Every structure is written in structure tokens, then in C-alpha cells.
Amino acid sequence: MVTNHQEAEGQVVVLKPNHSATWRSNLFALILVSIPSLGAAIGFTLLGAWPILPFAGAELIALFSALYYVNWKLEYRHVLTLKLDEIKIDKGYFAPKRTWVWPRDEAQVNIVEARHDWEAPSVSLNNRDSRVTIGEFLNKDEMQELIKLLRGELPIRSFGSERDMTV
């Protein structure tokens, strides 16, 4: 998902993966699954088949862990702050884990075309010293939206296939 808004210091573009469900809806689904699972396990335990109960608990713990891990991975963000004199790129989950700050006049956009029609192109920002790939989790339409937004803000230095790209 690509969102952008103006702030006093410049334009802020936030790139994040699409969420199919919120954490709250994942917990609701976990509760719905746990009611019949634990109900059956408790019923069998009352009939004397007590080894079923730990397996039902382990199943629910595994499901909770998987839902938590996927939700955590979907909290990943790329935040581009485009000021008049500099560009700041932040990557991280709940807080920036990596940050790059470049003078705006040194920054440029590199676009690598997709190999197939159903893939999204690859976009990276670079300056003289480093190169940062952005939005690799975006789908084709979202990547086109990002390219359109970046075209109005930064110069595009290369556009083509990987073998044509110069850094």
C-alpha cells in the first residue's frame, strides 16, 4: 500500500505490505477455532483420553505463533521523507531499523522492468555512495503508483532491464 501526505517539512511517502486481516480479527479467528478444539479435547479428557488435551493446546499455540509471526512481518514499512534539501529513507517494523539521509540533488531513481507482465518492476533510490531498494513487497499497481509519485519528485536516471541498468 502506498500512502503519501504533505507535512511542514516536506512530503512523506509510506510503503507497507497489504494486510488481509488485522491483529484483532486474527485473535477472533483463533478464539473461534479454539472453542471446538478445546471443547472436544476436554470432552475426551473427561472420558479418560487425557493425552488429547496437550496436543490440542500445542495446536492452538502453533496457530497463535504463526498468526503472530505473519502479522509482525506485515508491519514492515518503508518511509520516504522528501524534503526540499534532503531525502530520508527509513526501513523497519515498528520503528526505523535502518535509515539513509542523502542530499536531494544527489538522489536518483532506478527502475528495472519486470520480467513478466504479472510482476512488478523493481525500484531503487541511489546516490554516489549507496543504493536502496524500496517497495519490493508492493504489487504491480502499487509500484506503478509509486513510480508515478517519484517521477514528480526525483530524476529517473535509468529505466530498463537489469542488464541495461547503470549505477
- Which contacts qualify for 34-38: CB closer than 8 Å, 24 or more apart? 34/60
Q: What is the mean pLDDT of residues 35-48?
A: 94
Nearest to 118 by CA among 149, 141, 150: 141
pLDDT of 24 > 50? The answer is yes
Q: CATH: 2.30.29, 3.40.50, 2.150.10, 3.55.40. Which one for 2-18+75-164?
A: 2.30.29
pLDDT band at 167; cut points 50, 70, 90: very low
Mean pLDDT on 60-81: 93
Q: How is the chain split into domains, by residue range? A: 2-18+75-164, 23-73
Alpha-carbon distance of 80 to 127, in angstroms, equals: 15
DSSP alpha helix (H) spans, 52-114? 52-73
DSSP letter assigned to residue 56: H
Band the pLDDT of 166: cuts 50, 70, 90. Answer: very low
Per the CB < 8 A criterion, the answer to whether 57 and 44 are in contact is no
Cβ 26 vs Cβ 67: under 8 Å: yes
Residue appearing with cell numbers 522528501: 82
